[in-house]
Structure 1
Amino acid sequence: MERAQVIDLLCIIAEEYSQIDTSEDEEIRLYESLKDFPFDVACENVRQHKLTNPWPPKIAQIRGGAGDLQDQRKAKDQTAEYFAERDKAQAAAKPMPAGWKEELYARLKSGTAARH
Structure 2
Amino acid sequence: MKRAQVIDLLIKLKEEYAHQIDTSDTEIDRLHENLKDFPFDVACENVRQHMLTNPWPPKIAQIRGGSGDLRDQRKSKDQTSDYFTERDRSRAAAKPVPPGWKEELYARINKGTTAR
Q: 1:25 is aligned with what amino acid?
A: D
SS in 1 for 2:106: helix
- CA shift at 1:4, angstroms? 2.0
SS in 2 for 1:98: coil
Find the counterpart in structure 1 of residue 44 from structure 2. Answer: 40
Kindly provide the CA deviation profile for residues 28-63 of structure 1, in whole angstroms up to 9, marking residues without a partner as x: 3144144x2315324414524751x4xx63322012
1:92 counterpart = 2:96: no
Structure 1 gap segments, 5+ residues each: none
Find the counterpart in structure 2 of residue 4 from structure 1. Answer: 4
SS in 1 for 2:40: coil
CA distance in 2, matches of 1:58, 1:4: 19
Find the counterpart in structure 2 of residue 59 from structure 1. Answer: 60
Percent identity among equivalent residues?
51
Structure 2 gap segments, 5+ residues each: none
Find the counterpart in structure 2 of residue 105 from structure 1. Answer: 106
Q: 1:73 is aligned with what amino acid?
A: R
With normalisation by structure 2, the TM-score equals 0.67
SS in 2 for 1:61: helix
Q: How many residues align?
A: 109
CA RMSD of aligned residues (A): 3.1
Picking from 21, 28, 33, the partner of 1:29 is 33
CA 1:95–1:22 in 2, change beyond 3 Å: closer, same or farther?
same
- CA shift at 1:91, angstroms? 0.8
